[in-house]
Chain A
Amino acid sequence: MWQYTLKRLLQGVITVWFIATATFLAMHNVPGDPLSGERAMSASIRANLEARYGLDKSLTQQYFIYIGNFLKGDFGVSFAQENRQVNDIIREHFPVSATLGILAVIFAALGGVLWGALTALYRNRLPDTIIMFLVILGISVPSFVFAALGQLTLVNLNAFFGVSFLPVAGWGTVSHMLLPALVLGMGTMAYLTRLMRSSMLEIIHSDYVRTAKAKGLPPARIFTRHQLRNAILPVITVLGPAIAAITTGGFVVELVFAIPGLGRYFVQAVQQLDYTVIMGTTVFYGAFLVFMVIVVDLLYGWIDPRVRLQ
């Protein structure tokens, strides 16, 4: 298991390096250069800035400086906001995105497992039909529509009852987080529900559940000891990609709900062509996602003895 963990971590590091390189190459192919903005500047200032950002050096030299800085954990200074470190920007905005993301993932995972198990147990009966209809909707409706509809409903609810149940937008308190997290997790929850349902149905018909019945175990015990644990395994395997989808999907939700997260900042940086912020954020997100996938894989290994003991 330790060997496996180490191997996975090493793979992760190489993957992050690949992401960093790909980001570097991509950004250096952007047409135009970052200093040719609206502001006219004298040749001397320009040369000064170029030297400062290393833009006068060759691509290879720039690449090594860039990688070297990453290794030191230094993502550089924002182009658009002269005196802001990219690190500071990430430090300030990422916790917001992460909180929102974690809440959404918890919501999606718990909801997915619960609804999936429920629909499987009530297969082809009314609860199954209703939930699976909602699931199909959840998969087919884009998150921004959920966000807009959620906001609209909330505005109307608040207006109708004359009470502010939840704030419509903004950030700060738990009540600010609930609706955006719900909206953000919706699509993933629908997907996980489907997965859990088919996994659960497969297990309900499995030989070992038949054995458990033949042993005369009460249904509740069969459900908790034999069905649930095994049915969750496939759900866990897709949790890594699901976290990735939720984290990057957060951009839209952050935009709609005016949440000061890293996603919204990233979109803004792209619009301003703020090179260092774009590169720093991309590599940071990439590293974060790679790390999350590894964590989920290890978690899976820990839960499934077939992986753990081999």
Chain B
Amino acid sequence: MTNPVLISSGANSEALAVADFAPIAHRPDIHGISRPSRSYWQDAWIRLKKNRRAMVSLWLIVGLLAFAVIGPLLWQVDPARQDIDQISQAPGADRSARIVAPYEFWGGQAFSGFGEGSGLRTGAEANSQAVRLIWDAVPGAGGYRLYRNIFPIDDEMAFGLPIAEFPNASAGFYEDRLNLRPDTYYYSLVVLDANGGLTSDYQVLEVPVHRVITVDEVRERSLVPATVALATGDEVFLALHPLGTDYLGRDMLARLMSGARVSLFIGIVAPFLYVLLGVAYGATAGFLGGKVDQVMMRFADFVVALPFLLFMILFQVVFGIGPGESGILPMLVALVVLAWPATARLVRGQILQIRQEAYVSASRLLGAKSGYLVWRHMIPNTMGVILVTLTFAVPSAIFTEAFLSFIGMGVAPPTASWGSMSNEGLATMLTHPHELIFPSLFISITVLAFNLLGDGLRDALDARMRSFE
């Protein structure tokens, strides 16, 4: 037997002092528990506070709520007001406008300093009041057609919007006043043959359009104080839209705020209501047990089997959104009616499990009444699960709202919600992406925050689930 450190008790390798062998006190409790005792919720809160992602999410949610509730008080712009000077304005775009004289009829005469050269050219300064074009006659032409585009003309010769057609070959002019915005336009003049058909002969003119405004318009919109004198050529600033405007010239920030109220209201109130309903239903079924439980849960199974989104749409139809109604209430009711069974199943399962627990039996043996059992044992022990369910229900309700509003089955215009704003933004996605990006960003951030908070809560409330995530 060779063991590493083996000292024979007979021969001392090392002498020890007598004092070393003095007996000491027997203290079996020295390794006892010294940590302070904390309640389940205190412990959960401490764990949650350690989770950085969950805490950031919590603050984000607080921020979003403030955005919805306090935001409109700070940014008092009517979300429904249309600013026709600034339609589909990107955030941070130039807001300056030069004051010009009111519009006057134009007879095709080039102003001084304009109209030089040949081909398609401008006959006057191009501004948002009018773009005035003149061109020379093309030999052999049967006529002309004028197009306007906001993109450069590529090889595929997509000329854009046809705005005018001229049946004779002589030199011509055209005054474009159609919905002009400060942007760069590409005008194409296509030569027509004798029969009025398109030929491959065309000229393109790139026209930068500057924003202008008349004194009357400035006064009408109160862009400057009434005391300030204005003259032609002065620069004024149009109304401020920090996040730009939508396709009707409505302020994006104001709409996002009022949309936040709608989306968060549905996203938070609906889950709260249906989780409450689910808890009541599930707890009743689980606690009563037996036949009642079976019948109740079978009914819940049926409701689960209904195709959720289809029935959400059906309910929207059934409730009917009359004129002047927002469609928020029908959606709320439909969500509550359709979404409760998941919570009910979960809570029932929990209650059934807790009913089997020894501590409930012990409590029962000590004479506890049903009400006491539910209140003292069942509810506190399912609270964690319910809270986590609620947190995860919020993003799914927000998704549902957005989905329905997106396909036009949600809130009715002019009520804004993030979903309906995304829907409207989709149409102008290619030219004005901010109209889609802002509302969808808000949806995504909100859903993300609630999901991460839910993860954090689940980890904090249930140590068992925590081990593997």
Contacts and interface: CB of A to CB of B under 8 A. Distances in A.
Is there a direct interface between A and B, measured as CB atoms under 8 Å apart in the complex?
yes
Interface of A: 15, 18-19, 22-23, 26-27, 29-32, 136-137, 139-145, 148, 151-152, 155, 198, 201-202, 205, 244, 248-249, 251-252, 255-256, 266-267, 270-271, 273, 278, 281-282, 285-286, 289-290, 293
A151 B429 CA distance: 10
A289 B311 CA distance: 13
B447 interface: yes
B444 interface: yes
B406 A144 contact: yes
A148 B429 contact: yes
A244 B468 contact: no
B433 A140 contact: no
Given A148-B429, A252-B407, A141 B317 contact: no
A28 B422 CA distance: 32
B403 A152 contact: no
B448 interface: yes
A26 B311 contact: yes
Given A19-B307, A270-B314, 12 more contacts: A18-B306, A19-B302, A26-B317, A30-B320, A142-B402, A142-B406, A145-B440, A148-B429, A201-B468, A248-B310, A266-B310, A282-B310
A22 B429 contact: no
B188 interface: no
B265 interface: no
B310 A273 contact: no
Nearest to B154: A159
Nearest to B299: A18
A252 B406 contact: yes
Contact of B310 (A18, A141, A285): A285
Which 9 pairs across A and B sit closest by C-beta, in order of nearness?
A140-B448, A248-B309, A201-B468, A145-B440, A31-B320, A140-B447, A18-B302, A15-B305, A141-B444
Interface in B292-310: 301-302, 305-310
B411 to A, nearest CB: 15
Contacts of B318: 26-27, 29-30
Nearest to B468: A201
Contacts of A27: 314, 317-318
Given A198-B468, A278-B317, A251 B305 contact: no
A23 B314 contact: yes
B307 A282 contact: yes
Interface string B149-166: 000000000000000000
B399 A202 contact: no
Contacts of A278: 314, 317
Interface residues of B, number: 41
Contact of B308 (A202, A244, A255): A244
B363 to A, nearest CB: 33
Interface in B417-462: 419, 422-423, 426, 429-430, 433, 436, 440, 443-445, 447-448, 451-452
B301 to A, nearest CB: 7
A32 B317 CA distance: 11
A248 B301 contact: no
A289 B408 contact: no
A81 B440 CA distance: 36
B311 A282 contact: yes
A95 to B, nearest CB: 18
A151 B310 CA distance: 26
Contact of B430 (A139, A152, A273): A152
A15 B302 contact: yes
B395 interface: yes
Given A30-B318, A202-B468, A140 B302 contact: no
A293 B307 CA distance: 12
A195 B50 CA distance: 24
B346 interface: no
Nearest to A144: B406
A142 B440 contact: yes
10 contacts: A19-B307, A26-B318, A27-B318, A137-B444, A140-B447, A152-B429, A201-B469, A249-B309, A267-B407, A293-B305
B313 interface: yes
Contacts of B409: 267, 270
Contact of B395 (A140, A252, A289): A140
Nearest to A279: B314
A32 B322 CA distance: 11
Nearest to A290: B305
Contacts of B447: 139-142
B306 A22 contact: yes
A144 B426 contact: yes
A148 B443 contact: no
